[in-house]
Homo-oligomer: A and B are copies of this chain.
Amino acid sequence: MVLGKVVGTIVCSSKNDSMDGARYLLVEKTNQYGEKNGDFLVALDMLGTGPDELVMITEGSPSRETPLTTNKPCDALIVGIVDVIDETDRILYRK
């Protein structure tokens, strides 16, 4: 999984993926401190993620492994909202 911050929303027409209730978010990848690195992707959101929240994203085929995304052409899914990232004795990121 990779880390990223939600930076925007994508509105699509002519979708052929039959997930009309789905929300596509523009996500910028980050390092372990939550600092953005300029690399973007579009991920499906089913958690109600808000702007600038740090999220964990599953890419590729495993992103279909939820009830909503089964048999859908989705290759990036937000699977968790990050609360804390810590090293052995130090907090790297806190929500």
Contact = CB atoms under 8 A, between A and B. Distances in A.
Query: Which range contains the number of A residues in contact with the other chain?
Result: 35 or more
Q: What's the number of copies of this chain in the assembled complex? A: 5
A66 B62 CA distance: 13
Nearest to A3: B42
A23 to B, nearest CB: 12
Contact of A12 (B15, B41, B83, B86): B83
Contacts of A9: 85-86
A42 B73 contact: no
Given A24-B56, A26-B32, A60-B75, 19 more contacts: A1-B41, A2-B42, A3-B42, A8-B87, A8-B92, A9-B86, A10-B82, A10-B85, A12-B82, A14-B47, A14-B48, A14-B81, A15-B79, A16-B47, A32-B40, A52-B88, A60-B62, A62-B73, A62-B74
